[in-house]
Amino acid sequence: MAKNDPKDIYIHRDISWLDFNERVLEEAEDPANPILERLRFMAIFANNLDEFFMVRVSGVKRLIDAGYNSKDKFGWYPYDLYKVITERTDALSKRLYDLRDRKIMKDLAKNLIFVKRYEELDPEQLKYAKKYFNDTLYPIITPIAVDQGHPFPIILSKSLSFAVELAIYKKKCFAVIIVPQNVPRLIKLPSERDELNYILMEEVMKNNIERFFRGHKLVNKFLFRVIRDSELSVDEEYEEDLLSAIDAEIKKRPRAKVIALEVEKDSSPELLANICESIVFPFEEVTRINNDLDLTYFFEMASLVPMTNLCYKSFVPASIQYGNIFDKMKEGDFIIHLPFQSFKPTVDLVKSASVDPGVLAIKMTLYRTNRDSDIVKALKEAAKNKKQVTVLVEIKARFDEEANIRWARELEESGCHVMYGIPGMKIHSKITLVIRREEDRIRRYVHLSTGNYNEKTASLYTDCGYFTANDDFARDISDVFNVITGYSLPSRWKRIVASPYDLRQYYIELIDKEIESQKSHGNGGIFAKLNSLEDVFIIDKLYEASKAGVKINLLVRGICALVPGVKGLSENISVRSIVGRFLEHSRVFITNNNNDKRIFLSSADWMRRNFDRRIELLFEIYDEKIKDHLKMVMELYWKDDVKARILTAQGKYERAVRGSEPVNAQENLIGLYS
Positions marked catalytic: 428
Please, which residues have CB within 8 angstroms of residue 401's CB and are 6 or more apart in sequence?
A: 232, 246, 250, 395
Find the angle CA(540)-CA(542)-CA(545) to the nearest 5 degrees.
Answer: 115
- Which range touches other proteins (CB under 8 A), out of 27-35, 117-125, 438-446, 660-668? 438-446
Element (H, E) at 130: helix 123-132
Using the minimum distance from each CB to other proteins, give the nearer residue, 316 or 489: 489
Q: From CA 136, how far away is CA 380, in angstroms rounded?
A: 37
Cβ neighbour number for residue 60 with a 10 Å cutoff:
22
Q: Based on the shown chain and the rule CB under 8 A, indicate whether residue 244 belongs to the binding site for other proteins.
A: no
CB of 471 to other proteins, least distance (A): 6
Strand partners, 591: 526, 598
> What sign has the CA pseudo-torsion 184, 186, 191, 194?
negative
Task: Please report, as residue ranges, which positions from 314 to 373 form the binding site for other proteins (by CB under 8 A).
Answer: 360-361
CB of 457 to other proteins, least distance (A): 31
Site string for other proteins, 362-401 (x = CB under 8 A): --------------------------x-------------
Q: Based on the shown chain and the rule CB under 8 A, indicate whether residue 471 belongs to the binding site for other proteins.
A: yes
Q: Using CB under 8 A, pick the residue from 69, 244, 488, 674 that binds other proteins.
A: 488
CB of 440 to other proteins, least distance (A): 9
Please, which residues have CB within 8 angstroms of residue 367's CB and are 6 or more apart in sequence?
A: 394, 397, 426, 427, 428, 430, 452, 453
Q: Using CB under 8 A, pick the residue from 140, 316, 489, 657 that binds other proteins.
A: 489
CB of 484 to other proteins, least distance (A): 13
Strand partners, 500: none
CB of 596 to other proteins, least distance (A): 21
CB of 434 to other proteins, least distance (A): 12
Using the minimum distance from each CB to other proteins, give the nearer residue, 291 or 478: 478
Using the minimum distance from each CB to other proteins, give the nearer residue, 71 or 417: 417
CB of 505 to other proteins, least distance (A): 10
Using the minimum distance from each CB to other proteins, give the nearer residue, 201 or 416: 416
> What sign has the CA pseudo-torsion 13, 16, 22, 27?
negative
Q: Using CB under 8 A, pick the residue from 441, 522, 567, 661 that binds other proteins.
A: 441
Q: From CA 104, how far away is CA 98, in angstroms rounded?
A: 9
Using the minimum distance from each CB to other proteins, give the nearer residue, 246 or 435: 435
Please, which residues have CB within 8 angstroms of residue 516's CB and are 6 or more apart in sequence?
A: 524
Is 584:469 a contact under the CB 8 Å cutoff? no
> What sign has the CA pseudo-torsion 106, 109, 111, 115?
positive
CB of 330 to other proteins, least distance (A): 14
The residue type found at 503 is L
Comparing C-alpha atoms, which of 615, 55, 627, 596 is closest to residue 334?
627
Beta strand pairing call for 573-578 and 551-556:
parallel
Cβ neighbour number for residue 39 with a 10 Å cutoff:
28
Measure the N-to-C terminal CA separation of the chain; round to a whole number of Å: 50
Q: Based on the shown chain and the rule CB under 8 A, indicate whether residue 444 belongs to the binding site for other proteins.
A: yes
Q: From CA 468, how far away is CA 332, in angstroms rounded?
A: 7
CB of 240 to other proteins, least distance (A): 15
Q: From CA 427, how far away is CA 397, in angstroms rounded?
A: 9
Using the minimum distance from each CB to other proteins, give the nearer residue, 167 or 442: 442
Q: Based on the shown chain and the rule CB under 8 A, indicate whether residue 482 belongs to the binding site for other proteins.
A: yes
Q: Based on the shown chain and the rule CB under 8 A, indicate whether residue 116 belongs to the binding site for other proteins.
A: no
Burial class (CB in 10 A: 0-12, 13-18, 19+), 115: buried
Quote the DSSP letter at residue 148: T
Is 342:426 a contact under the CB 8 Å cutoff? no
CB of 618 to other proteins, least distance (A): 18
Beta strand pairing call for 359-366 and 258-264:
unpaired
- Which range touches other proteins (CB under 8 A), out of 40-48, 236-244, 489-497, 655-663? 489-497
Length of the chain: 674
Quote the longest CA-to-CA distance of the chain: 90
Q: Based on the shown chain and the rule CB under 8 A, indicate whether residue 475 belongs to the binding site for other proteins.
A: yes
Please, which residues have CB within 8 angstroms of residue 663's CB and are 6 or more apart in sequence?
A: 636, 639, 640, 641, 642
Q: From CA 111, how far away is CA 159, in angstroms rounded?
A: 30
How many residues of this chain interact with other proteins, rule: CB under 8 A? 20
Using the minimum distance from each CB to other proteins, give the nearer residue, 273 or 442: 442
Site string for other proteins, 408-437 (x = CB under 8 A): ---------------------------x-x
Q: Using CB under 8 A, pick the residue from 86, 111, 208, 478 that binds other proteins.
A: 478
Q: Based on the shown chain and the rule CB under 8 A, indicate whether residue 487 belongs to the binding site for other proteins.
A: yes
Binding-site ranges for other proteins (CB under 8 A): 360-361, 388, 435, 437, 441-442, 444, 471, 474-475, 478-479, 482, 486-489, 491-492
